[in-house]
Amino acid sequence: MNRNKMVIAVTLATLTVAPGFARACTQQDVMAKGAQLSQLIQAKMAADPSQGQALMAKMQPVMMSYQTQMTSGGAVDWDKVCGEYDDLIKQAQ
């Protein structure tokens, strides 16, 4: 196997077994997920207000937590926030 093929094979194998190499979540990703979640909650509110309110109650602490961290100058774990939003999006769908 020539050197280029070997490098490609090792790179592909590493990416397949090492999920830590996935692209990290960014603040922009969180904002997009928040917008998607807001739309889903609005639809839930129209269909079933109590379900919509329950989802809103779950979303607010997540939003408040990372906004507080940002305003206090603390580091925000965007991957964690994305994961929390992903869970809420699944519940809203």
Q: Which residues, in sequence order, are CB contacts of 44 under 8 Å at separation 6+?
A: 51, 52, 55, 92
d(CA 91, CA 64): 19
Q: State residue 62's pLDDT score.
A: 82
Q: Which residues, in sequence order, are CB contacts of 42 under 8 Å at separation 6+?
A: 52
Tokens of 10: 């090792």
**So where are the chain's domains?**
25-92
Q: State residue 1's pLDDT score.
A: 52
Q: State residue 79's pLDDT score.
A: 92
pLDDT in tens, the chain (93 residues): 555 554 454 444 444 444 444 578 898 998 899 889 888 888 888 888 888 888 888 888 888 888 888 788 878 888 988 998 899 889 888
Report the predicted TM-score, pTM, of the whole model to 2 decimal places.
Answer: 0.66
